[in-house]
Structure formats: structure tokens, C-alpha cells
Amino acid sequence: MVYRNGDFLRYRGLSGGISRACYAKSEMISGYGYGPCGEGKGVASESSLVESDGCRMYYTVDVCSKFSYGRRAISSQADATKDESEVISEPELSDDEYIEEPNQNKLELSETEAELGENIASRKSEGFELFKAISAAPGLSIQTALDKWVEEGKYLGREEIALAIRNLWKRQLYGRALQLSKWLDSNKPLEFTERDYASRLNLIAKGRDIKEAESYVTKIPQSFRGEVIYRTLLANCVSGINVKKAEEVFNKMKDLGFPITSLTCNQLLLLYKRVDKKKIADVLLLMDKENIRPTLFTYTILIDSKGQSNDIDGMDQIVEKMKAQGIEPDVHMQAILAKHYISGGLKEKAEALLKEMEGGNLKEIRWACRALLPLYAALGKIDEVDRVWKVCESNPSRDECMAAIGAWGSLNKIDEAEAVFERMSKACKKLSSRHYSSLLNVYANHKMLTKGKDLIKRMADSCGCRIGPFTWDAIVKLYVEAGEVEKADSVLQKIAERLANELKPTAIYSSDLKRAKDTADMIAKKCYCPKVIVVPELKERHVGSLQGLYWKEGEEKEPEAYRAFFSTQDDLEIPGGGESFNQLQERSMDAIEKIASMHKGERVIVVSHGGVLRAIYLYITKAAVAGKLLNASVNVLHFSNGDWDIKSWSDVSHLKGVGFLERGFNGDSINA
């Protein structure tokens, strides 16, 4: 697997990943790790479990070169803005914005503020207090906390509930938000509207799965089962890149006689921007036929799609057409345009657009600073980053701080990045692991192992915060970049323990790269499996003359190979003996299908690499992997009657309480 340079990732929209693993019967679990390929090393492995008509396959991936490779990832990724490691490093469309368009993420107010006739500031305070009471409730149930709230005579209005759910949502406490919604329905403190049912549907889809969300739709009273309900379901199908289900829901909406709106069409545009850009034209034809006027959001999607395809002229043509329709670009669209100009090498054009974004007084559009900081950094404009930061410096938000940390880090200004982090740390009572990850990634990108370990220790000692998957990603990356691959072995041990506890594999397969084999041997020992079978076809994609180079080196020294690697032409081979994506996908699928056919009714573990997993994922889902393939994550696939089905992806639940980080609490075992 190719290991990517940090600032390349931020501005090419590529998703990261290190090494992965796969399994076959009709269940597939996958996890991964990474290390320098040339040295035959790797770190955290990913495993995949596949079940076929009796055959299960675990598929583990390993990273092996200085390139970190992602299959045609996109700017608009599911929950991209929620990634703990993606520190507002680029302005981009996200599915959260997409779902927010119809305001589905929370219970909405049906009354106006005037109708409420209450002090809004006071209500916001009570809404936050309600959130704190729910989040602090011990155990799994929040009913006692809610009952106590009512017994104490505290106000429980629609706005308080909306604010509480919003805060639970932001912290991904979907289960508690869903319990609150159920409690409201049972206790009837207020009358449910269609929006309230849509809110619960959204929580079920996010916290559970689409199948359960579909089932809930049938339980909603018929009088409330309107367009908002189905639009919410459609939004979640798109967020999960479930093309078949999204199209089914869209057709269901037409059958039910719901009007086709720009909101619905925008959802389809987002979906096809991610999985099949050719179908975008079909949606536009439908909009034209139904006389649906494109919105600003429609144009934003189309512009981003053109930018992803490096069609700068096409992108500019859309802007001109939009302006001719009387729609002017907002700051968000301008940021997307600037990002693609930078990627296309049009630095002067990008800088001019950034100046236009600022307007006459940046202080009046302070919220634009989060986008401007990383964009100016991508242009190498140290003075501009400093100027924009000074606008925020007196009273910065956490998001502005994280954007500044990433910007200074990409400019090799480590002292400045650290100063911003310290300011954020002093100003905030408690930082989450996401905030620590912003600086941790800077240290990882610059191979500053000692400082990184000190920060990990500080994170563990000072806040006892939950360590999310993207923080694990940064921690493992830190050791790998510093050449201390063995320090992540405890993560591999955790994967092996999980696989050993959950299944009893009949066989374990591995690619022929050393670290993948080492990972497989470790898992085999835990699973009491006597032999690891080496399958060369499971190795990472050969990137030709790019092999062993960093992105910037590849772009300068091997421009033809560099362009071939990022080409959307899947049959284009990389010069220097490299593979096309089609060749990678064909051998990857051949390998796992042969393994599955030999192990019907059994469980098998396969240790391989990120590029292989991405190729397999695209083959099965017809969609690129959304987001990162996380270090040491686990994916579950089922294979039955010749069909593959992905049951879960990027599961990191087994990393909770991993000893690797726990040792940081006593401060002595993290040292090299």
C-alpha cells in the first residue's frame, strides 16, 4: 500500500489508510496497519471476515511504501467533517451539510421565537443543562435522568430538546439521543410532528442501520409519513453510499406522488458525484424536465464534481452559468473553487479568489477563517496565514485553532502550531482527543517522535478523554513515520485477540510482503492456526516508477507516472511496470473468490493491504470507500450464492482500552 504525504492528503481529497485484513465465508472482517514497504515492515493490521455459502474469509492489510494509497476518494465523504484526524484541513462538501439542508439532524422548532415568548438565552442554557444531565447519566439508560428532570419541575420545551439532541448528535451519542426521542414519544411532553419522527428516523439510521430505519418508517402514523420522512431516509442511504437502496427510496417517493424537489435531486447528485459521475447528467435532465431550478447547493455539488475530475474549465463554465441565473457564489463555494485551483496548479487564480472571499473586512466574515487558513497554507503563504490567524487570535474558537495548527504544521512552523495548541488548551476547560490529534498529526508528519509521545502522555494524564479511531490513526502514524514500527505491535495484538475470540478460522492467508506475513503469523498464533498460506496476488498495487517516492518527489521526478496514478482511467497502467486499477481489482477479486470457493462453510483470515481492500470494496458496492480505512479497523463481509455483502466497515470497537495507550497513564512504557 502506498503511503501518502500529509499535506498531499489534505488537498487531493484522498482518504487515508494503512494496512488491512479480510475473512471469507459470508462474513468478512478487515483491519490494517502500515510501515515502509521498502523495508518490508508494517504496523497495525486490518482484518476482514467474509462468509460465503459456508466459507468465511478474514482479510488483513499492511502498508508498505512511502505512498499511502486511496482509490479515487472524493471531497464529499460521509461524515468527513466528523473525522477526528481531519482538522478542518480543507473546505469541502460533506454529507452532514447535505443532511442539514432539510434540517433533519435535530428536532426542529415548529413555533417561532415570538410565539415562544421566552428568553432565548435562558432556554439555550436549559437545553445545554438537559444535554449534560443526559450525557452524565450512569449506565446505558437515561430514563432516570429524564424523570428526575421533570420531577424537579425543570422546563422541557421543544427548543431545549432540540439543543440537547443537537449536542448529543455533535458528540455522536446517537444512542442517547434516540433514547431521548423514544422517551418523548412515550411520555408525550409535546406533540410529535413529522419533523420529530424524521429526527428519530435519522437517529436510527445513524446509530443502527438503514434496515431498521426502513422498518421504523412503517411504524410512523400514516398522516405523518410524508416527504420529509422519505427524504430523511434517502439522505441516510446516500450518506451510507447505498446506491440500490437510495434509488429504491427515490422511486418510492415518486410512486407516492411526492413532488420532485431540488432537495431530493441534490441528494442524488451527491450520491452520483461519489459513485458514478456519468449519472449526474441524468439527474440534470430530470431537473430540466420537471422544471426544477438548480440551487446554490446544486451548483456547489456540480462545481466540486468538475474539480475532482481536474476539469477546471468545466468548473469555471458552471460558475458563469450560475451567475447568469442570478446566483452568486458564497464563501463555501469559493473555498471549494480555490481548493481545486490549487490542486490544478493555478495558484495565482486561487490567491485572487481567496482575497475575494475575504471581502473588505475579514472580521465581518470571521467564520471564513477556518477555510482560509489551510488554503493559504497550501499556497505556501506564511504571511497570509499569520494575518488571518491574527483576526482570530484574540478570541479563537476550537475549530479555528485546529485549522491554524494544521496550517502552521504544513508550513513547517512547528513552534507556531504548538503556540496555538497551548492557547486552545488554556482557553478550554477540556479538550477532546480530536483536538490533541490536530497537533499529534503535525508531529507525525514531521517525524517528531519524542514530542508526539509527550503529547500522548499529556492527553492521557490531563483529561482522560475518549481515544477515538482517528487519534489511534495519528498515534500509529507517529511511530511509523519515526521508523519505530514495532511500537504499534500492541494494536496488532489487539486485533489478533479479537479475531481469536470471535472466530475459529480454518485457514489464514497472507500476501507475500513481509509485514503482512508477520501480521498473519501473529494472528495465527492467537487463533491456534498452524500454518499461514502465502498468496502473492494479495500484495499491494505496484505503482511503477513512483515506488518508494513521496508524493512531492513523484510529482517532480515522475510526472507521467504521477498523472497515471491519479487518472480516472481505470485501465491506464502506471509507467515503470506499474498496474492499472483494473488489474489490481481483477487479481484481488480472483484471489479472494478462489479462497472463498475452497472454504465453503468455513472461516478464513486473509492478511493483505489497503489498495486491495479498496479495490474489493469498489467491486462489491460500485462505490469508492467513504472516508478512511482506519488503522486496525475490522470489516465484515458476507459471501453467499456468488454475491458479496458488506455488513460493517471500519469497526474499531476492539481498540477501546488497548494497552498501548493505557501504558501512557503511568508514563513509563511509551518511551522508546
Q: Is residue 32 within 8 Å of 610, Cβ to Cβ?
A: yes
How does pLDDT run across 220-251, given as a tens digit for each residue? Answer: 999 999 999 999 999 999 988 888 899 999 99
Residues in the chain, overall count: 672
Domain 6-84+487-541+579-640 of CATH type 1.10.287:
no
pLDDT at position 125, please?
66
Percent of the chain with pLDDT over 70: 68
Q: Report the alpha-carbon distance of residue 561 to residue 579 in Å, rounded.
A: 11
pLDDT at position 467, please?
55
pLDDT at position 377, please?
96
Q: Where are the domains of the chain?
A: 6-84+487-541+579-640, 366-466
pLDDT at position 246, please?
93
Ligand-binding annotation for 71, yes or no, is no
How does pLDDT run across 338-352, given as a tens digit for each residue? Answer: 999 999 999 999 999
Is pLDDT of 44 > 50? no
How does pLDDT run across 165-217, given as a tens digit for each residue? Answer: 888 887 777 778 888 888 887 887 778 889 889 988 988 888 777 888 899 99
pLDDT at position 614, please?
84
Q: What secondary structure does DSSP assign to 119-178, as a single string? A: -HHHHHHHHHHHHHHHHT-SSS--HHHHHHHHHTT----HHHHHHHHHHHHHTT-HHHHH
How does pLDDT run across 70-114, given as a tens digit for each residue? Answer: 333 222 223 333 332 222 222 333 333 222 333 333 322 222 233
Range among 33-47, 179-193, 353-367, 551-565 rated most confident: 353-367
Q: Is residue 401 within 8 Å of 421, Cβ to Cβ?
A: yes
Better-scored residue on pLDDT, 603 or 581:
581
Residue 227: name the closest of 267, 191, 189 by CA.
267
Mean pLDDT over 622-638 rounds to 67
| Residue found by looking up cell 451519542 in the block | 173
Describe the chain by its helix, strand, coil percentages, rounded to 5.
60, 10, 30
